[in-house]
Amino acid sequence: MELLEVKNLTKKFKGKKGDVLAVDNISFSASKGEIFGLLGPNGAGKTTTIRLIATTLAPTGGTAVVGGFDIHKHPAEVRRQIGVLTTDIGVYDRFSGRENLRYYGHLYGLEGQDLENRIDELIKLLDMSDFTAKRAGKYSTGMKQKLAIARSVIHDPKVIIFDEPTSGLDVIASQTVIAFMHRMKELGKLVVLSTHQMPDAERLCDRIAIIHQGKLIALDKISVLKEQTNTQNLEDTFLKLIKQKHLRSEPQEEQEQKKGMTGDSKIKLIRQIRIASLIVLLIGIAAFFIPSLQQYSIVTNALILVGALGAVVTKTYFKKYK
Ligand SMILES: Nc1ncnc2c1ncn2[C@@H]1O[C@H](COP(=O)(O)OP(=O)(O)OP(=O)(O)O)[C@@H](O)[C@H]1O
Ligand SMILES: [Mg+2]
Protein backbone atom coordinates (compact mmCIF):
# COMPACT_ATOMS: atom_id res chain seq x y z
CA MET A 1 0.00 0.00 0.00
CA GLU A 2 1.21 3.49 -0.89
CA LEU A 3 1.68 6.10 1.82
CA LEU A 4 -0.66 8.49 -0.01
CA GLU A 5 -3.50 7.38 -2.25
CA VAL A 6 -5.77 9.95 -3.84
CA LYS A 7 -8.83 8.43 -5.44
CA ASN A 8 -11.21 10.35 -7.72
CA LEU A 9 -10.94 13.40 -5.50
CA THR A 10 -13.42 16.12 -6.48
CA LYS A 11 -14.30 19.52 -5.04
CA LYS A 12 -16.99 21.80 -6.34
CA PHE A 13 -17.32 25.31 -4.90
CA LYS A 14 -20.65 27.04 -5.21
CA GLY A 15 -20.23 30.63 -6.36
CA LYS A 16 -22.48 33.55 -7.26
CA LYS A 17 -21.48 33.22 -10.92
CA GLY A 18 -21.98 29.45 -10.92
CA ASP A 19 -20.14 26.42 -9.64
CA VAL A 20 -16.34 26.08 -9.79
CA LEU A 21 -14.99 22.56 -10.20
CA ALA A 22 -11.71 23.29 -8.41
CA VAL A 23 -10.64 19.63 -8.25
CA ASP A 24 -12.05 17.35 -10.91
CA ASN A 25 -11.76 13.61 -10.35
CA ILE A 26 -8.05 13.51 -9.50
CA SER A 27 -6.30 10.22 -8.70
CA PHE A 28 -2.63 9.54 -7.93
CA SER A 29 -0.52 7.79 -5.35
CA ALA A 30 2.90 8.42 -3.85
CA SER A 31 5.20 6.41 -1.61
CA LYS A 32 7.73 6.86 1.17
CA GLY A 33 11.12 8.30 0.28
CA GLU A 34 9.65 10.18 -2.65
CA ILE A 35 9.42 13.89 -3.43
CA PHE A 36 6.23 14.25 -5.41
CA GLY A 37 5.58 17.52 -7.25
CA LEU A 38 2.19 19.11 -7.70
CA LEU A 39 2.47 21.60 -10.55
CA GLY A 40 -0.11 23.76 -12.25
CA PRO A 41 -0.91 27.34 -13.22
CA ASN A 42 -2.64 29.77 -10.85
CA GLY A 43 -6.09 28.55 -9.91
CA ALA A 44 -5.37 25.00 -11.15
CA GLY A 45 -6.58 23.41 -7.91
CA LYS A 46 -3.30 22.55 -6.14
CA THR A 47 -4.06 24.22 -2.81
CA THR A 48 -7.61 22.85 -2.83
CA THR A 49 -6.24 19.34 -3.42
CA ILE A 50 -3.84 19.80 -0.50
CA ARG A 51 -6.64 21.06 1.76
CA LEU A 52 -8.79 18.06 0.90
CA ILE A 53 -5.94 15.65 1.74
CA ALA A 54 -5.21 17.60 4.94
CA THR A 55 -8.91 17.31 5.95
CA THR A 56 -9.35 21.08 6.27
CA LEU A 57 -11.93 20.92 3.46
CA ALA A 58 -14.49 18.20 2.76
CA PRO A 59 -14.51 16.77 -0.76
CA THR A 60 -17.61 16.71 -2.98
CA GLY A 61 -16.55 13.28 -4.17
CA GLY A 62 -13.78 10.71 -3.96
CA THR A 63 -11.33 10.21 -1.15
CA ALA A 64 -7.70 10.13 -0.02
CA VAL A 65 -5.98 7.56 2.15
CA VAL A 66 -2.92 8.65 4.14
CA GLY A 67 -0.80 5.97 5.80
CA GLY A 68 -3.78 3.63 5.58
CA PHE A 69 -6.24 6.12 7.09
CA ASP A 70 -9.18 7.40 5.06
CA ILE A 71 -9.91 11.15 5.24
CA HIS A 72 -13.63 10.47 5.69
CA LYS A 73 -13.39 7.73 8.30
CA HIS A 74 -10.28 8.70 10.29
CA PRO A 75 -9.58 12.45 9.87
CA ALA A 76 -7.79 12.77 13.23
CA GLU A 77 -5.34 9.95 12.35
CA VAL A 78 -4.80 11.48 8.91
CA ARG A 79 -3.81 14.79 10.57
CA ARG A 80 -1.26 12.95 12.72
CA GLN A 81 0.25 11.32 9.63
CA ILE A 82 0.76 14.58 7.78
CA GLY A 83 2.43 17.91 8.25
CA VAL A 84 1.02 20.62 6.04
CA LEU A 85 2.41 23.99 5.13
CA THR A 86 0.04 26.18 3.14
CA THR A 87 0.41 29.89 2.49
CA ASP A 88 -2.17 30.82 5.13
CA ILE A 89 -0.50 28.96 8.02
CA GLY A 90 0.82 31.62 10.32
CA VAL A 91 2.74 31.80 13.57
CA TYR A 92 2.00 33.70 16.78
CA ASP A 93 3.77 37.06 16.61
CA ARG A 94 3.82 37.56 20.40
CA PHE A 95 5.69 34.28 20.97
CA SER A 96 9.34 33.63 20.23
CA GLY A 97 10.18 30.98 17.63
CA ARG A 98 10.90 28.39 20.32
CA GLU A 99 7.69 29.24 22.17
CA ASN A 100 5.71 28.85 18.95
CA LEU A 101 7.22 25.42 18.39
CA ARG A 102 6.58 24.42 22.01
CA TYR A 103 2.97 25.52 21.70
CA TYR A 104 2.36 23.43 18.56
CA GLY A 105 4.31 20.51 20.05
CA HIS A 106 1.94 20.52 23.04
CA LEU A 107 -1.05 20.38 20.67
CA TYR A 108 0.35 17.08 19.40
CA GLY A 109 0.91 15.77 22.92
CA LEU A 110 4.69 16.33 22.92
CA GLU A 111 6.23 17.32 26.27
CA GLY A 112 9.46 17.81 28.20
CA GLN A 113 12.89 16.82 26.93
CA ASP A 114 11.54 14.95 23.91
CA LEU A 115 9.89 18.14 22.70
CA GLU A 116 13.00 20.30 23.42
CA ASN A 117 15.15 17.78 21.51
CA ARG A 118 12.76 17.83 18.55
CA ILE A 119 12.78 21.66 18.56
CA ASP A 120 16.61 21.70 18.67
CA GLU A 121 16.75 19.24 15.78
CA LEU A 122 14.45 21.41 13.62
CA ILE A 123 16.28 24.63 14.54
CA LYS A 124 19.49 23.00 13.33
CA LEU A 125 17.99 21.50 10.17
CA LEU A 126 16.40 24.78 9.13
CA ASP A 127 19.33 26.95 10.21
CA MET A 128 17.22 29.01 12.64
CA SER A 129 19.49 29.26 15.68
CA ASP A 130 20.16 33.00 15.20
CA PHE A 131 16.58 34.09 15.71
CA THR A 132 14.48 31.54 17.61
CA ALA A 133 14.83 33.48 20.88
CA LYS A 134 13.34 36.61 19.26
CA ARG A 135 9.62 37.34 19.00
CA ALA A 136 8.14 36.04 15.74
CA GLY A 137 6.51 39.45 15.10
CA LYS A 138 10.00 40.80 14.33
CA TYR A 139 10.89 38.09 11.82
CA SER A 140 11.57 38.63 8.14
CA THR A 141 9.51 36.68 5.55
CA GLY A 142 12.24 34.04 5.31
CA MET A 143 12.50 33.59 9.08
CA LYS A 144 8.70 33.31 9.39
CA GLN A 145 8.57 30.74 6.62
CA LYS A 146 11.26 28.60 8.26
CA LEU A 147 9.36 28.77 11.55
CA ALA A 148 6.11 27.84 9.76
CA ILE A 149 7.88 24.83 8.21
CA ALA A 150 9.31 23.74 11.57
CA ARG A 151 5.87 24.13 13.10
CA SER A 152 4.22 21.99 10.41
CA VAL A 153 6.58 19.05 11.03
CA ILE A 154 6.97 19.32 14.82
CA HIS A 155 5.10 16.00 15.31
CA ASP A 156 7.47 14.16 12.94
CA PRO A 157 4.81 13.23 10.35
CA LYS A 158 5.29 10.54 7.68
CA VAL A 159 3.88 12.73 4.92
CA ILE A 160 4.96 16.35 4.51
CA ILE A 161 2.93 18.56 2.19
CA PHE A 162 4.40 21.92 1.24
CA ASP A 163 2.43 24.51 -0.70
CA GLU A 164 4.84 27.03 -2.25
CA PRO A 165 7.46 26.65 0.50
CA THR A 166 10.08 28.80 -1.24
CA SER A 167 7.84 31.60 -2.50
CA GLY A 168 9.09 34.99 -1.33
CA LEU A 169 12.36 33.54 -0.04
CA ASP A 170 15.83 34.66 -1.07
CA VAL A 171 18.31 32.21 -2.57
CA ILE A 172 19.92 31.34 0.77
CA ALA A 173 16.64 30.72 2.61
CA SER A 174 15.35 28.72 -0.40
CA GLN A 175 18.44 26.54 -0.28
CA THR A 176 17.85 25.78 3.40
CA VAL A 177 14.26 24.75 2.66
CA ILE A 178 15.39 22.63 -0.30
CA ALA A 179 18.07 20.94 1.82
CA PHE A 180 15.40 20.29 4.45
CA MET A 181 13.20 18.54 1.88
CA HIS A 182 16.15 16.40 0.76
CA ARG A 183 16.78 15.44 4.38
CA MET A 184 13.12 14.48 4.83
CA LYS A 185 13.34 12.28 1.75
CA GLU A 186 16.50 10.64 3.10
CA LEU A 187 14.60 9.92 6.31
CA GLY A 188 12.01 8.02 4.28
CA LYS A 189 9.27 10.64 4.43
CA LEU A 190 6.96 11.35 1.55
CA VAL A 191 7.30 15.01 0.56
CA VAL A 192 4.53 16.49 -1.59
CA LEU A 193 5.64 19.78 -3.04
CA SER A 194 3.30 22.23 -4.73
CA THR A 195 5.32 24.89 -6.49
CA HIS A 196 5.61 27.36 -9.35
CA GLN A 197 9.39 27.26 -9.13
CA MET A 198 10.25 24.97 -12.03
CA PRO A 199 14.00 24.78 -11.28
CA ASP A 200 13.17 23.64 -7.71
CA ALA A 201 10.71 21.04 -8.98
CA GLU A 202 13.22 19.85 -11.57
CA ARG A 203 15.97 19.44 -8.99
CA LEU A 204 13.83 17.93 -6.26
CA CYS A 205 10.94 15.90 -7.60
CA ASP A 206 11.05 12.21 -8.41
CA ARG A 207 7.64 12.37 -10.08
CA ILE A 208 5.23 15.18 -10.83
CA ALA A 209 1.52 15.60 -11.34
CA ILE A 210 0.42 18.50 -13.52
CA ILE A 211 -3.00 19.88 -12.68
CA HIS A 212 -4.84 22.20 -15.02
CA GLN A 213 -8.36 23.54 -14.49
CA GLY A 214 -8.88 21.00 -11.74
CA LYS A 215 -7.90 18.03 -13.92
CA LEU A 216 -4.81 15.86 -13.78
CA ILE A 217 -3.22 16.23 -17.22
CA ALA A 218 0.12 14.51 -16.65
CA LEU A 219 1.61 12.19 -14.05
CA ASP A 220 5.06 10.71 -14.41
CA LYS A 221 8.79 11.07 -13.87
CA ILE A 222 10.09 14.39 -15.18
CA SER A 223 12.45 12.58 -17.59
CA VAL A 224 9.53 10.65 -19.12
CA LEU A 225 7.41 13.78 -19.56
CA LYS A 226 10.37 15.58 -21.14
CA GLU A 227 10.85 12.74 -23.58
CA GLN A 228 7.15 12.60 -24.43
CA THR A 229 7.05 16.32 -25.19
CA ASN A 230 10.52 16.44 -26.73
CA THR A 231 11.60 19.25 -24.38
CA GLN A 232 14.84 19.94 -22.51
CA ASN A 233 13.70 21.71 -19.37
CA LEU A 234 10.68 21.36 -17.12
CA GLU A 235 9.35 24.83 -17.86
CA ASP A 236 9.05 23.95 -21.57
CA THR A 237 7.59 20.53 -20.71
CA PHE A 238 5.00 22.19 -18.50
CA LEU A 239 4.07 24.82 -21.08
CA LYS A 240 3.82 22.25 -23.85
CA LEU A 241 1.57 19.94 -21.85
CA ILE A 242 -0.72 22.83 -20.90
CA LYS A 243 -0.80 24.03 -24.53
CA GLN A 244 -1.58 20.53 -25.80
CA LYS A 245 -4.46 20.39 -23.39
CA HIS A 246 -5.82 23.70 -24.70
CA LEU A 247 -5.34 22.82 -28.37
CA ARG A 248 -7.16 19.53 -28.06
CA SER A 249 -10.81 20.30 -28.60
CA GLU A 250 -13.29 18.89 -26.11
CA PRO A 251 -15.16 16.59 -28.57
CA GLN A 252 -11.85 15.11 -29.76
CA GLU A 253 -10.81 14.59 -26.16
CA GLU A 254 -14.07 12.83 -25.36
CA GLN A 255 -13.63 10.57 -28.38
CA GLU A 256 -10.09 9.75 -27.33
CA GLN A 257 -11.25 8.94 -23.82
CA LYS A 258 -13.98 6.69 -25.21
CA LYS A 259 -11.37 4.82 -27.22
CA GLY A 260 -9.22 4.71 -24.11
CA MET A 261 -6.46 6.58 -25.89
CA THR A 262 -5.08 9.91 -24.70
CA GLY A 263 -2.57 12.11 -26.57
CA ASP A 264 0.27 10.73 -24.46
CA SER A 265 -0.55 7.09 -25.16
CA LYS A 266 -0.96 7.90 -28.88
CA ILE A 267 2.57 9.36 -28.99
CA LYS A 268 3.84 6.25 -27.19
CA LEU A 269 2.12 3.93 -29.67
CA ILE A 270 3.40 5.86 -32.68
CA ARG A 271 6.92 5.77 -31.20
CA GLN A 272 6.67 1.98 -30.80
CA ILE A 273 5.42 1.51 -34.38
CA ARG A 274 8.27 3.74 -35.60
CA ILE A 275 10.90 1.68 -33.77
CA ALA A 276 9.36 -1.55 -35.13
CA SER A 277 9.37 -0.11 -38.70
CA LEU A 278 13.04 0.88 -38.43
CA ILE A 279 13.94 -2.61 -37.16
CA VAL A 280 12.04 -4.22 -40.10
CA LEU A 281 13.82 -1.84 -42.50
CA LEU A 282 17.25 -2.73 -41.09
CA ILE A 283 16.52 -6.48 -41.24
CA GLY A 284 15.38 -6.07 -44.86
CA ILE A 285 18.54 -4.14 -45.83
CA ALA A 286 20.79 -6.67 -44.04
CA ALA A 287 19.02 -9.62 -45.71
CA PHE A 288 19.35 -7.92 -49.10
CA PHE A 289 23.15 -8.09 -48.87
CA ILE A 290 23.38 -11.73 -47.70
CA PRO A 291 24.10 -13.84 -50.85
CA SER A 292 22.42 -17.01 -49.49
CA LEU A 293 19.15 -15.10 -49.05
CA GLN A 294 19.03 -13.71 -52.59
CA GLN A 295 16.51 -16.37 -53.64
CA TYR A 296 14.13 -14.70 -51.16
CA SER A 297 14.47 -11.27 -52.75
CA ILE A 298 10.67 -10.77 -52.80
CA VAL A 299 10.62 -11.11 -49.01
CA THR A 300 13.63 -8.83 -48.43
CA ASN A 301 12.22 -6.19 -50.80
CA ALA A 302 8.87 -6.39 -49.01
CA LEU A 303 10.58 -5.92 -45.64
CA ILE A 304 12.45 -2.85 -46.91
CA LEU A 305 9.27 -1.41 -48.42
CA VAL A 306 7.14 -2.00 -45.30
CA GLY A 307 9.87 -0.72 -42.98
CA ALA A 308 10.49 2.43 -45.03
CA LEU A 309 6.77 3.13 -45.39
CA GLY A 310 6.22 2.67 -41.63
CA ALA A 311 9.15 4.98 -40.81
CA VAL A 312 7.90 7.75 -43.13
CA VAL A 313 4.24 7.53 -42.05
CA THR A 314 5.04 7.44 -38.32
CA LYS A 315 7.40 10.40 -38.69
CA THR A 316 4.54 12.44 -40.19
CA TYR A 317 2.14 11.44 -37.37
CA PHE A 318 4.82 12.01 -34.75
CA LYS A 319 5.26 15.63 -35.88
CA LYS A 320 1.48 16.14 -35.89
CA TYR A 321 0.98 14.88 -32.32
CA LYS A 322 3.89 16.77 -30.87
N1 LIG B 1 -13.08 28.72 -0.79
C2 LIG B 1 -13.30 28.85 -2.09
N3 LIG B 1 -14.51 29.23 -2.57
C4 LIG B 1 -14.72 29.35 -3.89
N5 LIG B 1 -13.81 29.08 -4.83
C6 LIG B 1 -12.58 28.69 -4.43
C7 LIG B 1 -12.25 28.56 -3.03
N8 LIG B 1 -10.96 28.15 -2.92
C9 LIG B 1 -10.51 28.05 -4.18
N10 LIG B 1 -11.47 28.37 -5.07
C11 LIG B 1 -11.34 28.34 -6.53
O12 LIG B 1 -10.88 27.05 -6.90
C13 LIG B 1 -9.95 27.12 -7.97
C14 LIG B 1 -8.66 26.44 -7.56
O15 LIG B 1 -8.01 27.25 -6.57
P16 LIG B 1 -6.66 26.80 -5.83
O17 LIG B 1 -6.40 27.81 -4.78
O18 LIG B 1 -6.80 25.39 -5.42
O19 LIG B 1 -5.62 26.92 -7.01
P20 LIG B 1 -4.01 26.78 -6.97
O21 LIG B 1 -3.65 25.77 -8.00
O22 LIG B 1 -3.54 26.56 -5.59
O23 LIG B 1 -3.57 28.22 -7.51
P24 LIG B 1 -2.29 29.12 -7.11
O25 LIG B 1 -1.15 28.59 -7.89
O26 LIG B 1 -2.70 30.49 -7.57
O27 LIG B 1 -2.10 29.03 -5.62
C28 LIG B 1 -9.82 28.60 -8.32
O29 LIG B 1 -10.69 28.88 -9.38
C30 LIG B 1 -10.28 29.30 -7.05
O31 LIG B 1 -10.84 30.55 -7.35
MG1 LIG C 1 -2.34 27.63 -4.27
Which of 224, 247, 270 is a domain's end point?
247
In a domain, 310, yes or no: yes
Question: Ligand 1: which of 24, 42, 47 to mutate, most ligand atoms within 8 Å of CB?
Answer: 47
Last residue of a domain, one of 214, 247, 280: 247
Rounded to an integer, what distance in angstroms lies between the CA atom of residue 168 and that of residue 320? 40
Identify whether 252 is part of a domain: no
Closest CA to ligand 1's atom 6: 13
Total domains present in the chain: 2
For residues 60 and 127, membership in a common domain is answered with: yes
**Is residue 284 one of the residues assigned to a domain?**
yes
User: Where among 203, 223, 247 does a domain terminate?
Assistant: 247
How far apart, in Å, are the Cα atoms of 17 and each of 14, 212, 261?
Answer: 8, 20, 34
Query: Do 100 and 156 fall within a single domain?
Result: yes
Within a domain: residue 266? yes
Does residue 43 line the site of ligand 1, with CB under 6 A? yes
pLDDT higher than 80, residue 257: no
Please tell me if the CB atom of residue 48 comes closer than 6 angstroms to any atom of ligand 1.
yes
CATH number, residue 124: 3.40.50.300
Q: Is there a single domain that holds both residue 184 and residue 218?
A: yes
Q: Domain range spanning residue 284?
A: 261-321
Give the whole-angstrom CA distance, residue 76 versus residue 56: 11
Give the C-alpha separation, 6 to 316, whole Å.
Answer: 38
In a domain, 253, yes or no: no
For 268-307, the pLDDT digits (tens) are 888 899 999 999 999 989 888 888 887 888 888 899 999 9
* CA–CA separation, 178 and 199 (whole Å): 11
Does one domain contain both 271 and 211?
no
pLDDT (tens digit, 9 = 90+) per residue, 113-166? Answer: 999 999 999 999 999 999 999 999 999 988 998 999 999 999 999 999 999 988
Distance CA 122, CA 132 (A): 11
CA of 21 to the centre of ligand 1 (A): 10
Same domain, 267 and 218: no
pLDDT per residue over 170-215, tens digit each?
898 888 889 999 999 999 999 999 998 888 899 999 999 999 999 9
Are 40 and 86 found together in one domain?
yes
Considering the domain boundaries, does residue 24 fall inside one? yes
Cα–Cα distance between 292 and 16 in angstroms, integer?
80
Q: Does the residue 256 lie in any domain?
A: no
Is 47 among the domain residues?
A: yes
Of 9, 12, 20, the one to substitute when testing ligand 1's pocket (max ligand atoms within 8 A of C-beta) is: 20
